[in-house]
A and B are shown apart, each in its own frame.
Chain A
């Protein structure tokens, strides 16, 4: 572990929340409102870190009247989820979002539409997270900023009783929180693509959950990409609804205007060469207000001296990984508990399969999920913590790769390993257009990198633990994608282009020394005979 001359910081609390994006912040509010003493630790700063803060999360917003509106919304979503979603969960998050979001009105000025109605659905990220920070603090929650959590701590019965991390603005001083219950809300991961706001999200919450014995679900669904001006992070897609695309020779490309079909067509075009874009079809009245709708979108063009409505600028696609993909830690019950006692999960850290199914929940379901899973986990963790012992002396640290090597400690090139993860998880031919051979090749590379790191890395620095988390997540994703020998939703296999009804099941994954994949027997239509054991 990192040594430090400063004395370690030790805190005892009811509920510890790891990660302060929207899921962690909503979890903190609900746990505090349920009477719990709450500590929230974020790697960066709760308010600016994570993908919520830089985006403009539009929530799944369906008021209870007219009554059929929710039935229609859920029926559409069940159909879109291609057999992997659950209507009951969808109703639950629609209702939870509708009840909870307006409670932020003291801290967030919700918009008023043309008809004078309050618009709760669409909020702007920086203001939303600033409001959530104020809300959380007003409820007496202790926030530890710049305090990445590195590993969970278990009691003798295996239940989770706290976590350990470092205070990176205090010279790497260690801190330990002894808690009655822990909620993981450390976000998803884009595998370090340049997706806006995703830099601190390296899958740490997945790794820590797996080390505690929890399983993942839906890790094959990572093939989501978002358009951005080349060399920028600005993966905000609204303006591209009005785009025209051109090849390097100046000819217009006939691409769909939005959605997953745009991604596929654009990726194929980018495989052939550079693609240029103009937002020339945007109506003048929208142009005039773009800077007050999404102020970070035009600033990129302004700084580069580009007129995006006349000029042609080069575009790229950044991978969303599990952020606007689907996978994460499997939610065990309606309290967002994991299969490990004392451990809960929320937001992108949790698998969204039950509400999004096999497609992205971008644009609405994702934030409704982050809010609702946060609220549910916070409430249940507070309840559990009330009856739990909080004695920090008998806690066992669970961190492995990067902290406690399997073999002889020695220096490991973590930066090279991170490049390796990027090289296997971002290229279109490896993630968007998958093949058996490609997945096998990725698996070999990732297994080697993992073995090296798990065998030898010992420094316990943040960078090494992040690298371990990225590698573990990538391994589960590749293993699950290999097992799903069909195409379904955002998982596309070039060698199995059709959907196979036998695969209308959710796939669980996990394992550290050995990655494994198996069917989630609770998902419908399971026909186990169709699966081979994962390699």
Chain B
């Protein structure tokens, strides 16, 4: 669930408020977005992806709150990681969208599985079929 917005990074652009599918945030009176309905957060990381200031931290935990401090998350290097690896904005040249490799990966996985079915510990496991 979304745990915090690092105040001194936020440029108050409003993007997270607009794109959050679950309507978790409101524009606060002091400018900064406020996490008003955290219990509705669906842990989809979309707000992070759209935050160009890398100010949002969504914990992967979807069924429990975790206590984190701004200092910790800034130090962790996780802020902005999703946007960077997705090759959005300034990262476009360095992190290409390689989703198309999925086909190759699944082919490799199927080959590996059938190889093992022939010889390895899972011999005879004819379930090792991709549901294609």
Contact A281 B112 (CB under 8 A): yes
Which residues in window 371-401 of A have CB below 8 A to B?
A: none
Contact A293 B105 (CB under 8 A): yes
Which residues in window 107-130 of A have CB below 8 A to B?
A: 109-113, 119, 121-124, 126-127
CB distance from B90 to the nearest CB of A (A): 15
Complex Cα gap A261–B129 (Å): 9
Known contacts A58-B102, A126-B46, A200-B42, A257 near B113 by CB under 8 Å: yes
Complex Cα gap A232–B102 (Å): 22
Complex Cα gap A48–B86 (Å): 14
Q: Which of A32-40, A296-304, A477-485, A516-524 contacts B (4 or more CB under 8 A)?
A: A296-304
Q: Describe A's contact surface by its main secondary structure.
A: loop
Complex Cα gap A378–B102 (Å): 30
Chain B 20-55, CB within 8 Å of chain A: the 1/0 string?
111100000000000000001011111001100000
Contact B63 A231 (CB under 8 A): yes
Chain A 176-218, CB within 8 Å of chain B: the 1/0 string?
0000000000000000001011111000000000000000000
The contact of B82 among A197, A257, A289, A295, by CB within 8 Å, is: A295
CB distance from A302 to the nearest CB of B (A): 6
Residue of A nearest to B22 (CB): A199
Contact A258 B113 (CB under 8 A): yes
Known contacts A54-B46, A194-B43, A296-B82, A259 near B99 by CB under 8 Å: no
CB distance from A303 to the nearest CB of B (A): 5
Complex Cα gap A262–B125 (Å): 11
Contact B21 A254 (CB under 8 A): no
Tally of chain B residues near chain A (CB < 8 A): 53
The contact of B59 among A121, A123, A124, A303, by CB within 8 Å, is: A303
CB of A292 within 8 Å of the partner chain: yes
Complex Cα gap A163–B6 (Å): 40
CB distance from A93 to the nearest CB of B (A): 15
CB of B9 within 8 Å of the partner chain: no
Residue of A nearest to B77 (CB): A302
Contact B96 A292 (CB under 8 A): yes
The contact of A363 among B49, B61, B130, by CB within 8 Å, is: B130
Contact B23 A295 (CB under 8 A): no
The contact of A303 among B60, B110, B128, by CB within 8 Å, is: B60
Contact A54 B44 (CB under 8 A): yes
Contact A146 B40 (CB under 8 A): no
Tally of chain A residues near chain B (CB < 8 A): 72
Contact B130 A48 (CB under 8 A): no
Known contacts A44-B22, A363-B131, A303 near B76 by CB under 8 Å: yes
Chain B 83-108, CB within 8 Å of chain A: the 1/0 string?
00111000000011111111101101
Contacts of A145 in B (CB 8 A): 18
Residue of B nearest to A286 (CB): B105
CB distance from B128 to the nearest CB of A (A): 5
Contact B105 A233 (CB under 8 A): no
CB distance from B8 to the nearest CB of A (A): 21
Contact B44 A146 (CB under 8 A): no
Contacts of A54 in B (CB 8 A): 44-46
CB of A45 within 8 Å of the partner chain: yes
The contact of A124 among B78, B99, B103, B106, by CB within 8 Å, is: B99
Contact B127 A261 (CB under 8 A): yes
Which residues in window 122-155 of A have CB below 8 A to B?
A: 122-124, 126-127, 145-146
The contact of B19 among A47, A233, A363, by CB within 8 Å, is: A47
Chain A 34-60, CB within 8 Å of chain B: the 1/0 string?
000000000111011110011010100
Complex Cα gap A194–B103 (Å): 26
Complex Cα gap A362–B106 (Å): 13
CB of A256 within 8 Å of the partner chain: yes
Complex Cα gap A256–B127 (Å): 6
Contacts of B131 in A (CB 8 A): 80, 258-260, 359-360, 362-363
Contacts of B64 in A (CB 8 A): 231
Contacts of A292 in B (CB 8 A): 85, 87, 95-98
Contact A168 B76 (CB under 8 A): no
Contact A199 B102 (CB under 8 A): no
CB distance from A1 to the nearest CB of B (A): 19
Contact B129 A121 (CB under 8 A): no
CB distance from B87 to the nearest CB of A (A): 7
CB distance from B35 to the nearest CB of A (A): 15
Contact B78 A299 (CB under 8 A): yes
Complex Cα gap A123–B97 (Å): 9
Complex Cα gap A242–B87 (Å): 26
Complex Cα gap A233–B61 (Å): 8
CB of B7 within 8 Å of the partner chain: no
Complex Cα gap A352–B63 (Å): 31
Contact B95 A258 (CB under 8 A): no
Known contacts A242-B109, A257-B113, A364-B132, A200 near B22 by CB under 8 Å: yes
Contact A299 B128 (CB under 8 A): no
Contacts of B130 in A (CB 8 A): 258-259, 363
Contact B100 A113 (CB under 8 A): yes
Contacts of B13 in A (CB 8 A): none
Contacts of A99 in B (CB 8 A): none
Contact B113 A48 (CB under 8 A): no
CB of A161 within 8 Å of the partner chain: no
Contact A296 B112 (CB under 8 A): no
In order of increasing CB-CB distance, the 9 nearest A-B pairs are A111-B100, A44-B21, A199-B42, A241-B109, A261-B127, A119-B100, A49-B21, A295-B85, A124-B99
Could you write out 27 A-B pairs with CB less than 8 Å apart?
Answer: A45-B20, A48-B19, A50-B21, A54-B45, A110-B100, A111-B98, A112-B100, A124-B86, A126-B86, A197-B42, A200-B21, A231-B61, A231-B63, A231-B64, A232-B60, A233-B42, A238-B109, A241-B112, A254-B122, A291-B85, A292-B85, A293-B102, A296-B82, A298-B85, A299-B85, A362-B131, A364-B132
Q: What 4 new A-B contacts, CB under 8 Å, besides A45-B20, A293-B105?
A: A126-B49, A194-B63, A291-B85, A304-B60
